[in-house]
Structure 1
Amino acid sequence: MSSHQRTSPVARRRIALSQNFLHNAAAVRLVVRSARVRPADLVVEPGAGEGVLTRALARTARQVVAYEIDPRLAARLPHRTRAHPNVLVVQGDFVRARPPREPFAVVGSIPYSRTSDIVRWCLDAPALTSATLVTQLEYARKRTGGYGRWTRLTVETWPEYDWRFVARIARESFTPVPRTDSAVLRIQRRPTLLLPRNRLAAYRDFVAHGFTGTGGSLRATLARRHGPARTRAAFRTLAVDASAPVGYVTPAQWLALFCALGPRARNPGAAPGIR
């Protein structure tokens, strides 16, 4: 008999759906506190699972819409949340749902295998105010400049969203215990954009071109489009390392370079501050 055949149906479903349930009370409180949920808030929870976080959120939020793709778990959630009439359980795939039209926050301990899809859904939702997500530790580090490197997704969305690594969560806080630790990742929509809205598309194009990596460094890549002399001057004025590979340039430096080199460029010295 193969190992797969010996595995119970419940265990196979957990593996298929990437189910690791957050059960540690202190970790749950940390997530709720990090989400900054207020009494008037609408909260959407992807992957409600056994409802531990759902109940904690319901104690503070005006309403919690809890999505669960597993029919077995979804059927049990109304009973588990019966003390909280402000919880609406939806059996279905969160990433196929239509986002609310009113301002809302996303809070969830999400399936690791669906992290990219869930994050993209959040970023594409016009009324989203913030997303506080429990992800794999490595994912949260990569998206927030861990190891001194920055990903294209973070850089592209930086004018609209602030990405923050909040805290590490030990793997023992979950059942079953996953192979790696997790982290609380918070993505918050900025109250004021760092660029005018009509320049966001041009900025994303600027970043996409920079991340092609042609030439070995960001300066070499940008020089192909904006000219060697102009690019060299911008890097020198903004004190950006001319030899830095693309991933080691901070989001603030990307913004400054765009303002210096992009359409309708301003004086490089007036560009957003570099950190």
Structure 2
Amino acid sequence: MAHFFAHRDHPSTPRKAEDNRGRARRALSQNFLVDPHAVRRMAEAAGSHELLLEPGAGRGALTFALAGNCARVVAYEIDPLHAGRLAARARGVRGIEVVRGDFLAAPAPREPFAVAGNIPYSITSGIVGWCLRAPALTSATLLTQREYARKRSGDFGRWSRLTVLTWPVRSWELGGRVGRAAFRPMPAVDSAILRITTRPVPLLPGEAHAAWRAFVEEGFTGRGGSLHASLRGPYPPRRVDAAFARAGVDRDAVVAFVHPDRWLTLFELLH
């Protein structure tokens, strides 16, 4: 049975007159997924879960597809008009709860859960950050701007600071491209499926994570124009030279072009 909830501690978006609804959608960064094939691909990529949270449910095209694979789907929609309509459509559908409110204001479940959604471009970083801070998250399947997904997954041949920082605990994978024609209104850029998965066993023990963060932050200072030069400040130069030789990392390698796995090797050798 579907349920409808509203965040009482988050102000609802005011209703707009008919001629202002387009402007309201743009303010909320709403580009609705309308291509059935893309909806199926997203649902398949998300997989089956006991509990799944969907940020930015919109009109519910993805909500019902996700519910076909999951025991319970909690769909968050900040727009009261769409939230109300989705709740009405989901009435009588087992396992769907509709929450009218801001996903970013929601507490993370303590039980294992997944996240999947066609998320607003304007708050991509906020939603990704929310997912990364959730200890019980098992995976996040997010439809984002294609450039963002490629940047985080290393598809450009370089890796972002965030990807490297979280690498011992989370893996980042680029899924298929979803063209702009799959959305209404049509955005200016293509999208892609980004998968963030929590590793069953972390690549580093818990007590090493603080040292890992400090190591990565130091490396990304970019001092001297290379990772090798950045690390020769806080670590003995001879040890750094030996670690780079053993890890097979070129001394001239620019920080962002070093694979996260090589970062791990260097960290273990220097610590």
After TM superposition, the score normalised by the length of structure 2 is 0.92
The reply on whether 1:34 has 2:45 as its aligned counterpart is: yes
Per-residue CA deviation, residues 208-232 of structure 1 (Å, 9 max, x unaligned), is 1111111110000000010221111
| Equivalent residue number for residue 74 of structure 1 | 83
| Residue aligning to 1:4 | none
SS of 2:144's equivalent? strand
The match for 2:212 among 185, 191, 203 is: 203
RMSD: 1.1
Please say if 1:258 is aligned against 2:267. yes
**Aligned with 1:45 (options 54, 60, 64):** 54
**Aligned partner letter, 1:201:** A
2:143 to 101, 109, 134: 134
**CA deviation string 1:7-59 (max 9, x = no partner):** 93111111111100011111011011111124xx1000000000010011111
1:242 alignment partner, SS class? coil
* 1:16 paired to 2:27: yes
CA distance in 2, matches of 1:151, 1:191: 23
The amino acid across from 1:50 in the alignment is R
Identity percentage of aligned residues: 55
Q: Deviations over 1:156-208 (max 9, x none)?
A: 00000010001100110001110011000000000011011110111011001
- In the TM superposition, 1:97-246 aligns within 5 A as 97-246=106-255
Is 29-38 or 61-70 further displaced after alignment?
A: 29-38
Please tell me the residue identity of whatever aligns with 2:147. E
Residue type of the alignment partner of 2:239: R
SS of 1:148 mapped into structure 2: coil
Q: TM-score by structure 1 length?
A: 0.90
> Following TM superposition, by how much is the alpha carbon of 1:247 offset from its aligned partner in structure 2, in angstroms?
0.4
- State the alpha-carbon separation in 2 of the partners of residues 72 and 36 from structure 1: 29
**Aligned residues between the structures:** 254
- The letter for the 2-side match of 1:146 is D
How far did residue 71 of structure 1 move? 1.2
CA distance in 2 between partners of 1:183 and 1:190 (Å) = 22
Per-residue deviation, 1:85:
2.7
Q: Which runs of 4+ in 1 moved over 3 A?
A: none
Structure with more contact order per residue of length (Cα contacts < 8 Å, sep ≥ 6): 2
* Deviation (angstroms), 1:83: 4.4
